[in-house]
Structure 1
Amino acid sequence: MKHKAILYSDFNCPFCYALEERLVGLRLAPSVEWRGVQHAPQMPVPMQLANLGFAQSIEREVVMVKDLMPEIDIAFPIGKPNTLKAIQYSIAASRHEPLLGLVFRHTLAREFWVNGEDISDEAFIKTVAHQFQFDSLRVDSAAESEADRWQREWQHLGTGSVPTLVRDDGEILMGLQPVEVLKAFFGE
């Protein structure tokens, strides 16, 4: 039996970025409903340079991701952005055009994790949206409400962790998992 799952993910988490790349590579992304959440809502807008301790923490996370998934294209960012606007714009894009919205979201993640762009910057998000001909893309109250609902649902799970996959039968899987574990989780 093939399962579907909800993925609670934050753009500024390297493990989330890597898991989403792995799900795409395994062609499991169509079985996943993405729900963007903020595991660190206190991150500033605009993104600020990380102090030495925080920079070392980010570096450790990226090195761990590279150890778990050497094939991933990922760089060491100079800080971590607040991701609320990126989440809200991703919701709006997916409502407008689901498949293109998915590619838009993946592009935002790559812009941060590969190119170091500040995805808390609404002007930058709109530049990316323009690449997808989403020139009229706006965050409305429905996108804001959906982002709030997803945040509350994730907090209610009580894991405090991203990425978190919740399968359609309630089974939970956290973190960046190996290919075999993901295939088994989805019934592949």
Structure 2
Amino acid sequence: MDHLIIYGDFNCPFSALASQRAIDLVDRARATVDWRAVEHDPAIPNGGVLVEGEVAAGFRQELDHVRSLLREGEPDVLRLPTRQVNTRRATVRYAGTPIEQRPGVRQALFAAHWSRGDAIDDDHVLDRIGAGTPNRSTAETWALDWRQADAVTVPVLVLPDGYRSRGLGALKRLAAMIG
């Protein structure tokens, strides 16, 4: 069974699809997955940005693109969020989540942001989801590893031989691995 590393941001609909595909791979015993959350756009202010105007148009375009990539049986659960959140807090809390709980917490974070519109930059929401205590060291290590790969996008899939597949290529590889 292959061991994969995937870097993704909770603010990215393409990362949400990669996360679902990672769950499918694990459920089918095709791979083990080490999901590493990264803050793709640290320029987003702490209070986030309202999703309106050009920001809303950009997200609609991304959501349409994600929908075009869905394979038969993959759920269409992503909705336009009300805010583009700064994911620093969610990333650091996810990094502090016990490893065995991370897959469930990861999916809960994506669902909270992309399906329910919850504020995943709020500690009360993160507590309800079951995110761990902040672990800045792990989050910083993940970010450094991601950046050292010249990554400017998410998701990034690291294959067992070290090859890194980025963005749409990563999604395509994950789909092919599912079969």
Instruction: Quote the residue 2:162 is aligned against.
Output: 170
Q: Hey, what does 2:111 align to over in structure 1?
A: 110
State the shift of 1:29 in Å.
Answer: 8.2
| Equivalent in the alignment of 2:80 | 76
The number of residues matched between the two structures is: 172
Q: What one-letter code is carried by the residue in structure 2 that aligns with 1:163?
A: P
Letter in 2 for 1:6: I
Superposed, 1:126-145 pairs within 5 Å as 126-129=127-130, 137-139=132-134, 143-145=135-137
> Kindly tell me: are residues 161 and 103 of structure 1, through their superposed partners in 2, closer, same or farther at Cα, counting changes over 3 Å?
same
Q: Is the 8 A contact 1:5 1:31 kept in 2?
A: yes
Tell me how far apart the structure 2 counterparts of residues 174 and 185 of structure 1 sit (CA, whole Å).
15
**In the TM superposition, what are the counterparts of 1:25-104 in structure 2 within 5 Å?**
25-26=24-25, 27=27, 31-69=32-70, 71-94=75-98, 98-104=99-105
Task: Name the Cα RMSD after superposition.
Answer: 2.2
Q: Is the 8 A contact 1:47 1:80 kept in 2?
A: yes
Letter in 2 for 1:173: S
Aligned AA for 1:93?
A: T
Aligned residue number for residue 8 of structure 1: 7
Select the structure that is richer in strand: 2
Preserved CA contact (<8 Å) 1:16 1:162:
yes
Quote the sequence identity (%): 27
Is the 2:30–2:177 Cα contact (8 Å) retained in structure 1? no
- What letter corresponds to residue 46 of structure 2 in structure 1? V
CA distance in 2, matches of 1:29, 1:125: 30
Structure 2 unaligned runs (5+)? none
Whether the aligned pair in 2 keeps the contact of 1:5 and 1:33 (CA below 8 Å) is: yes
The yes-or-no answer on 1:152 pairing with 2:126 is no
**Contact 2:23–2:103 (8 Å) recurs in 1:** no
Deviation for aligned residue 1:175: 2.3
Q: Is the 8 A contact 1:45 1:121 kept in 2?
A: no
Larger Rg: 1
Q: Does 1:18 align with 2:13?
A: no
TM-score, normalization by structure 1 = 0.82
C-alpha offsets along residues 58-104 of structure 1, whole Å, 9 cap, x if unaligned? 1100111111116331111122111111111112122xxx3323212
Displacement, 1:146?
A: 1.0
